[in-house]
Structures are given as structure tokens and as C-alpha cells.
Amino acid sequence: MSNSPQFSHVRQDGTAHMVDVSAKPATARTARAQAVLTTTEAVIAQLTEGGLPKGDALATARIAGIMAAKRTPDLVPLCHPLPISKATVDLEPGTPQPTAVRITAEVKTTSQTGVEMEALTAASVAALTLYDMIKAVDKTATITETKVLAKSGGKSGGWTRA
């Protein structure tokens, strides 16, 4: 046996499985994640003024992100379906630079497992939706910086990205 970490979604024979969390206590858990869409200053102006051909891109992306958080186990095969008690998606045009939109998602539950995947899925789908809404005016937009920012609850407790 090596000293390498064991992955919880892989059995001894190397096959994937859904982790059994039934013996774990349900605790309050929160996760926050982000994605960043980079475009042009002209598109950022259209986003904030509501002047895009497809309509209110920020509102559409926000709703898409919330819906995605609730559908994460349908998209990520080994995720547990969780009773999500809160899903928030915020979009900040002009942040962290004038040509970007930072998308931040926060998801909460009381369950036996965390909501990091739900927060990542919410931020990712909101970013994809935003790209879809602006691609007519900027096909070169990029999505980057998708990452977990913080989590709380569970056996390992809280964690915040430095």
C-alpha cells in the first residue's frame, strides 16, 4: 500500500461508486465558488445598460446559476442529491478588471455532505449562460478562474482560499 491519498469515489478494485454518507451526521454546510468571464469594455457597458440583443443577460445568468445548483446531481454523476436551502448567484460587471464579470455563487444545505460541487456548478452555468448571451457581440469572451472560494461545515470544518 502506498502513502498516496485514497479517493473516496474509487473502490479498492478501481471502479467508481457513490460514497455512502448515511452514517455521517447532517450538519449545516455552505460553499462559495466563482467563475470570471472576460470580454470587452464595450460589452461590459452593454451588460450594465441592458443593451444586449438577447436581453437582460445578468438576470438570465443569475437564474440559470440557481437552477444549475439544484440540478448538480443530474450533471455530475457521483454527486448526492441534496436538500438545498439557499442558492445565491451574484454577477459583478467590471470586477476584477474593467473587462470582466466576476460570478460568485453561494449554496447552503443541512446534509451529510458538502455543497462545493453545487456552488461550482452554479458559477459555471451562470458564466456559460452569460457567454451565450454575449456571443453575438463578442465571440472571443473567455471563462476562467472557476474555483471554490470557501466552505464550512462537516468533519473538516471551514476552509477559505488564501
Enumerate the active-site residues.
132
Question: How far is the C-alpha of 40 from the C-alpha of 38, rounded, in Å?
Answer: 7
Q: Please, what's the largest Cα pairwise distance for the chain?
A: 60
What are 154's three cell numbers?
462537516
